């Protein structure tokens, strides 16, 4: 009587064969064959000749020269000579000479340097939401406060510029004229003018006495994303998707300079009276400092790894900050020297604002707001902007923010079509909201 052969699938048989092979070779799988030194040397020689063949002769020449120099140098005195001279010098010494002593220097030996410690941050009151203003019919993309601190203007994707009373939050006037999203606003401190730019490639100058457009600045080849006014001269700057920043004469509408050099959209632009007068940040992940008189780039900062969407200048210190999804970085003017990283806001940072008290606020594309102490880079508060009832959570995005001129109100414009106003919590104190600060050795990244 013959046993019935059990038929297995090919899959099962293959796996059994694999298991048997594995069990067979498991005991000596860690035993590698001995390294053949001759073969290794040949491999190294071939690799070095292939990679460095062109410069091999130069390296050999340099080595030969070094050897010649070493041969031609006078020989240093030996220990015996040093001992003899030391013995001659120490005839009147009380103790016998024991050996070559270390040369004594008259200079005072420096003390070992202490590791740099993060200075204690200044206490800032936490901020809280105090007003939500709705009225726009699209994403609110930009905001500017009037120099008298009585009203502010906002521009949105509904193509309308709205002017609001700062104290009451009531709508004062709506300005229509753009045919696409309004992306940038600036109010002049020297004239009764409001400047606006948008995705329709237009840069407009509005006369606020008549609420009408009085000038157009033509030249941009694509959407215009940001505006800046020079604080002391009648110069307007605009930048956008065509990768250029343009300098305009406010009165004559002449394109004084076209600042070229960025290879992608220029997303942020700031202007100041001191050097460098113009700073731009771009989606090509660089920051450029410009000479306004010459219309040329002074230097390019390439520390960021991702697009730079916001730049803000401190009102009193000669420093500025730039925001990118990888880090917020602080820099010193005029040469653009790196100061420190502000790490932790892991979002696309669309905007920043800073007040004279040293409170830096960064606003993210996901509705997060981080508040920092400017000097130390300490993150003292994190907020999540609540969306307007009826909006989706995905519409929690902050597009622009600014402090009013007193620094006591923060205005943000958001993707849920609202404008939010924040203020400091008057009831808070250092006892109720202590600084969660541990002095640590600085681990500043040098890039």
Q: Which residues pair with 245 in a beta bridge?
A: 239, 259
Residues 6+ apart with CB under 8 A from 341: 327, 328, 329, 330, 377, 444, 445
Say what the pLDDT of residue 350 is. Answer: 94
Say what the pLDDT of residue 58 is. Answer: 81
Has residue 131 got a pLDDT over 90? Answer: yes
Percent of the chain with pLDDT over 70: 86
Has residue 429 got a pLDDT over 90? Answer: no
H or E, element range at 37: helix 37-72
Burial of 299: CB neighbours in 10 Å, binned 0-12, 13-18, 19+: middle
Mean pLDDT for the stretch of residues 115-119:
64
Q: How far is C-alpha 88 from the chain's CA centre?
A: 65
Model confidence, pTM: 0.72
Say what the pLDDT of residue 114 is. Answer: 60
**Residues 397 and 366 sit within 8 Å (Cβ to Cβ):** yes
Mean pLDDT for the stretch of residues 75-80:
49
Mean per-residue pLDDT over the chain, rounded? 86
- 221 or 389, higher pLDDT: 221
Mean pLDDT for the stretch of residues 220-245:
95
pLDDT band at 72 (very low <50, low <70, confident <90, very high): confident
Say what the pLDDT of residue 19 is. Answer: 85
Mean pLDDT for the stretch of residues 12-26:
84
- Which of these ranges, 39-43, 116-120, 364-368, has the smallest mean pLDDT? 116-120
Say what the pLDDT of residue 118 is. Answer: 65
Has residue 91 got a pLDDT over 50? Answer: no
64 vs 8: CA distance, rounded Å: 73
Has residue 208 got a pLDDT over 90? Answer: yes
The domain locations on the chain are 127-136+222-424
- According to CATH, the superfamily of the domain at 127-136+222-424 is YVTN repeat-like/Quinoprotein amine dehydrogenase (2.130.10.10)
Mean pLDDT for the stretch of residues 288-298:
92
pLDDT band at 115 (very low <50, low <70, confident <90, very high): low
Q: How far is CA 229 from CA 191, 194, 249, 286, in A?
A: 11, 10, 11, 22
pLDDT digits (tens, 9 = 90+) for 296-317: 999 999 999 999 999 999 999 9
177 vs 47: CA distance, rounded Å: 67
Mean pLDDT for the stretch of residues 342-361:
93
152 vs 164: CA distance, rounded Å: 5
pLDDT digits (tens, 9 = 90+) for 134-163: 999 999 999 999 999 999 999 999 999 999
**Residues 352 and 362 sit within 8 Å (Cβ to Cβ):** yes
Query: Measured at the alpha carbon of residue 158, what is the angle toward residues 311 and 196, in degrees to the nearest 5?
Result: 45
Residues in the chain: 447
Has residue 98 got a pLDDT over 90? Answer: no
Residues 6+ apart with CB under 8 A from 187: 144, 145, 146, 147, 153, 193, 194, 195
Has residue 209 got a pLDDT over 90? Answer: yes
- 250 or 431, higher pLDDT: 250
pLDDT band at 215 (very low <50, low <70, confident <90, very high): very high
């Amino acid at each position: 009587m013959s046993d019935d052969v059990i038929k297995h699938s090919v899959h099962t048989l293959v796996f059994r064969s694999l298991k048997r092979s594995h069990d067979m070779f498991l005991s000596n799988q860690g035993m590698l064959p001995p390294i053949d030194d001759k073969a290794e040397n040949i491999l190294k020689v071939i690799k070095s000749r292939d990679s460095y063949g062109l410069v091999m002769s130069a390296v050999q020449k340099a080595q030969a020269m070094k050897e010649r120099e070493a041969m031609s140098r006078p020989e240093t005195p030996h220990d015996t000579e040093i001992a003899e001279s030391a013995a001659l010098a120490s005839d009147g010494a009380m103790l016998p000479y024991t050996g070559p002593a270390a040369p004594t220097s008259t200079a005072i030996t420096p003390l070992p340097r202490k590791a740099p410690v993060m200075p204690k941050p200044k206490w800032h009151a936490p901020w809280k939401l105090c007003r939500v203003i709705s009225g726009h019919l699209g994403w609110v993309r930009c905001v500017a406060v009037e120099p008298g601190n009585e009203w502010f203007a906002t521009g949105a994707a509904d193509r309308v510029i709205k002017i609001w009373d700062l104290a009451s939050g009531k709508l004062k006037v709506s300005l229509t004229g753009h045919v696409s999203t309004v992306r940038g606003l600036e109010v002049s401190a020297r004239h009764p003018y409001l400047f606006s730019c948008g995705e329709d490639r237009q840069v407009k100058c509005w006369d606020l006495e008549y609420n009408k457009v009085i000038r157009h600045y033509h030249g941009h080849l694509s959407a215009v994303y940001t505006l800046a006014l020079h604080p002391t001269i009648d110069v307007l700057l605009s930048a956008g998707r065509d990768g250029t920043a343009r300098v305009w004469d406010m009165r004559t509408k002449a394109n004084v300079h076209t600042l070229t050099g960025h290879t992608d959209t220029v997303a942020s632009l700031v202007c100041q009276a001191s050097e460098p007068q113009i700073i731009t940040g771009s989606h090509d992940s660089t920051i450029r400092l410009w000479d306004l008189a010459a219309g040329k780039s002074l230097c390019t900062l390439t520390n960021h790894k991702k697009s730079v969407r916001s730049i803000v200048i401190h009102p009193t210190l000669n420093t500025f900050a730039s925001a990118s999804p990888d880090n917020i970085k602080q820099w010193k003017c005029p040469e653009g020297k790196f100061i420190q990283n502000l790490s932790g806001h892991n979002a696309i940072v669309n905007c920043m604002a800073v007040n004279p008290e040293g409170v830096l606020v960064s606003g993210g594309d996901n509705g997060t707001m981080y508040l920092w102490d400017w000097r130390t880079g300490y993150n003292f508060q994190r907020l999540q902007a609540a969306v307007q009832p009826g909006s989706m959570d995905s519409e929690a995005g902050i597009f622009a923010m600014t402090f009013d001129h007193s620094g006591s109100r923060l205005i943000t414009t958001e993707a849920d079509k609202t404008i939010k106003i924040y203020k400091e919590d008057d009831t808070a104190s250092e006892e109720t909201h202590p600084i969660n600060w541990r002095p640590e050795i600085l681990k500043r990244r040098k890039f």
